[in-house]
Chain A
């Protein structure tokens, strides 16, 4: 799945080591009872939102108590765990707590693993091995913390999101709203930005050219808007007839005047963000409604004129940790949405579709194949309830002529083959392209990009639909950095091209697209480090590509880092299949420490046209326009315009914090605008440079929207 919070890392451990030491501990821990109690409150405020109040972890936020924690840290001194969390945590604002707070949190986590407090305070220097004082047995009051009472106000105490009042906080009264038809979605007006990637084909391209390579250096800020803090801000606005719909973290939806920035309505649906992930990547609009998938796996339809909830429905059984961050699309009258955080439980992850007018579920397609079903034999002997992964955390695309929606899926869990115990089997339908009939959800075809994937290298990202004459193709690129071209009518493999250095695969069958693994990858064992380039940050990650049809160029933001990964040998249990991997990162060979790369490829023949590198990786998608300019933002706060055909930088502006999200362009009353968000919490593409680029400084807040345009009088 998308990210790997490097909270937990360890030296090699031997299988069963922690288990052998899991008997009751008698030695006193290197901390006091007062520290552990203070640490519990500090943990709740700063860590529990992601790692959960009972330390069980959630998705890629690893467990901090129990067998997984002991497998990672049992043989390491308490000092190293303390050093690690000081260097990396809290996620997105590493090192922001005072020394005593980090010491107290360390004390609490040790106590949560069965360590007993002693008489000596933990000062960050203890060389005591964690396994000498802790056994991974979680005290009952920590394993089952009291639930918070529900109410109309949330946040503040459990994560990064500040306390806020929830509800329909500003009722709108938009008088003349032009309903959006299917025809408008199939052929979007370039003055609008109706679909999260600009069109159903995910081109992220604007047909506007008022801003072009001859005048882009004159761009000016027209207005800006502070957005909710907390959570992961990596969204992009939707615009129709000068009305901007904007998804904030904490599942807040706003309508703004796209010219003035005036708030027209606001609905804070909640829940408040309690983790540094859980992006709301996109909204969808159709007829007179705005659709949003909240991060608690609940789908809403809002009245576009007022913001009032028209209908709502659960995407997945509530209260079981399901989550959705990918956004929604509306196609042929159906709202289609994915699902994440399916942690080894039934149901598995699935894609589901709902009637856009009523919210009634039309169909679902399960992305994990069970025994006895097609593809079910591709998991070896793994029991059904231990088959995990296949999340869909990027919204799909749509071909109206074929009436097919295309989705990518995440890799299987645990990450490494050895931990997963699935061998090299394909683990369908993980890391695949799925082509589904929009009306029925029936699988038309699938393509397994990386059978048996083992390094958290998702192939889940955008499926870009490009026609080459009569040939209808689908292009996509995953974390391995391999740009794929498929026939989107049949799923037949057409071509592939490496876009960034990778060493996981050592060959490809040019007829079938089947990859072969580096031999030592196939010989992997648990509790043994093994190298992979790119790292779990990609290659390519969630910041999407852009396709410029006039120049036949696909512009790809790329990320350059490598890692060593170690897979645990820990038994999984129903309801909690964890990634079970540890990671050590390093700069990609041959890059001179440059983590960012922007590259352009001609799609007809897959030839590289240009690329450049820079120290910071890109944290936005790319927006190309008919003005021969493309916009992209990066980790080091730079938002830039490059010439599409050459890659030459034409304009830059420094924004207050990391530029993260999806740039869009629209026009109102003849004036073209470009909008982009800043944000934090962007998963691996954000956490890796946070760890590796120590010279890059940025505030740990600053979620906002910025809207640029040319001056009324050009120079």
Chain B
């Protein structure tokens, strides 16, 4: 179901590259074999941006240990971890929900629009991260066995600041 939500949002990608609505699936944080058992689970996050006000909500399930926190982080690039910027309201344990809102500073807003902000759920057995997902602008999404025209991946080329051609 969650995947369908994501896919639908993504397929509606005729929207401008910098849309107001954001969504992504939460998947395991970076792990090695020794960590794998503690970073299981699934989740989903949606966000909306009105002016500089960002509202975030989502859910998670099947964590191996109870959740201890959900936060927004901002890194130096898409897929690049960075420091926490906002604690979210959390409810539930191995499954649950989170929500929160924040008025972004100019720098945070710029980072957000470049896809550098991500949501991370921490848990007792994975206190430094259990699930995460980057809040990305809507982009073409080529689903399983459903070819799409065009490049069909994160529009890095179209997001100012992430890629420069001199």
| Chain A residues at the B interface, C-beta cutoff of 8 Å | 6, 9-10, 76, 80-81, 83-88, 498-503, 505-511, 516, 518-520, 529, 531, 533, 562-564, 582-594, 597, 599, 608-615, 646-649, 691
Contact = CB atoms under 8 A, between A and B. Distances in A.
B147 A646 contact: yes
A564 B143 CA distance: 26
A592 B148 CA distance: 16
B27 interface: yes
A589 B119 CA distance: 12
A43 to B, nearest CB: 17
Interface string B1-44: 00100110010000000000000110111111111110000000
Interface string B131-143: 0111010010111
Contacts, number: 172
Interface of B: 3, 6-7, 10, 24-25, 27-37, 75-81, 115, 118, 132-134, 136, 139, 141-154, 156-157, 162-166
A506 B164 contact: yes
Contact of B141 (A10, A592, A691): A592
Given A520-B80, A610-B149, A592 B25 contact: yes
Contacts of B115: 589
Contact of A518 (B35, B76, B165, B166): B76
Which of A87, A609, A649: most chain B CB closer than 10 A? A87
A610 B153 CA distance: 11
Given A506-B163, A691-B33, A612 B145 contact: yes
Given A599-B152, A612-B147, A584 B164 contact: no
Q: Nearest 5 CB-CB pairs, A to B? A: A9-B32, A647-B147, A87-B33, A507-B164, A584-B30
Contact of A609 (B24, B136, B141, B149): B149
A589 B150 contact: no
A591 B147 CA distance: 14
A516 B157 CA distance: 15
A81 B34 CA distance: 7
A6 B33 contact: yes
Contacts of B24: 589-590, 592
15 contacts: A9-B33, A83-B36, A503-B79, A518-B80, A531-B75, A562-B30, A589-B134, A589-B136, A590-B141, A590-B153, A591-B153, A599-B152, A611-B148, A611-B153, A612-B143
Contacts of A510: 165-166
Nearest to A79: B34
Contacts of A88: 33
Contacts of B143: 612-613
Contacts of B6: 592
Nearest to A531: B80
A610 B142 CA distance: 9
Which of B75, B136, B166: most chain A CB closer than 10 A? B166
